[in-house]
Amino acid sequence: MEDVKGDMDAESDSEHQTTGDDVIDISFCGSTPLLWKVSDIKRCRGAGVIGALVGSLARQPRQNVRLGRPLELMQEEALLLEETSAATASLHTQECEDEEVHSQAVRQYEAGQESSYKEQCALALEDKKTVLRRIMQEKDHGSDDSGNAVKDRLTALDQGFSFPRSAMAVQLCTARSGFSQCLEERSFLSTDWPMPRDERLETRFHVYRDLRSKGYYLTSAGKFGGDFLVYPGDPLRFHAHFIALCMPIDEQIPICDILAIARLGSNVKKTVLLCSPQMGKDEGCVVYSSLQWSSMV
């Protein structure tokens, strides 16, 4: 184990200056921070906060493979934005809607969905008919006598066609962030923003804030068995160099766990960092220790 605290010094990126018009509005789904607006996502990226695009229609037929909005933030990212006054919770600024106005909006939304469903049913039926008519023309020009069967199918199509609602294309009004939360949920969530800060979250946040102040970019490292993936620059341009594992400085780790995480880091060609925030008079300082697997000769 090698102490690399001195090696973590990098150029600090310039602080993101914000004005009243530059504040990022964060919406919540339960306790998950989300960004819906493109302008907010751009400001967030400019502040060095990456997040992850999770899309709106997961596992639906027309969900984009590369996913899109909203941008899901880690709790540490939301805390950093809130601490630097770069963000505010939309739950705080949204006035409680009148119940009648809210009900009317829901009815209008449902009516729009029903109208869209009927229109898509008509379009799908016309597409089916077009295919059958083309097959009929091919049968007429050929020697096959099965054209009558196609005519019967075309006749039955008008009487028994059904379009499943699960195949319906849905347009999301992403400008109306916070639409998924009822009034009671907004009131409950706004009591503690972004979320209660326990010891585990405090440890992760201290590490996240320290690495960001040194100019590194961080994303989630769940699939690598760590807390953060640490990049020397924007993740669109660089591969991650480190897997950060956050833990209290006095925590005891079994040797088998140390060997497992070190071996994993070696397999994915990354250095594992054990990150422990200092408490007491040195509070805010983080001690970094690196783990690398060395082959036996």
Query: Is CATH 3.40.1350.10 the right assignment for the domain spanning 2-93+188-291?
Result: yes
**The pLDDT of residue 161:** 83
Q: The tokens of 23 are what?
A: 């504040």
Give the whole-number percent of the chain exceeding pLDDT 90: 18
Tell me which of 13-22, 64-73, 108-117 is least confident: 13-22
Distance CA 8, CA 230 (A): 11
* Residue extents of the structural domains in the chain: 2-93+188-291, 99-167
Burial annotation 91-107 (CB, 10 A radius, 16+ → b, else e): beebeeeeeeeeeeeee
Give the whole-number percent of the chain exceeding pLDDT 70: 70
- The pLDDT tens digits of the residues spanning 188-242 come to 544 455 566 788 888 999 999 999 999 999 999 988 888 999 999 999 899 999 9
Which one is predicted more confidently, 141 or 105? 105
Long-range interactions of 18-24: CB distance < 8 A, separation 24+: 18/43, 18/84, 18/85, 18/86, 22/86, 23/85, 23/86, 23/87, 23/88, 24/81, 24/86, 24/87, 24/88
Per the CB < 8 A criterion, the answer to whether 230 and 211 are in contact is yes
Write out the catalytic residue numbers: 231, 239, 270
According to DSSP, residue 247 is labeled: -
Distance CA 80, CA 205 (A): 8
- The pLDDT tens digits of the residues spanning 251-271 come to 888 888 888 888 888 888 899
**The pLDDT of residue 206:** 92
- Residue tagged 């699960």 (tokens): 166
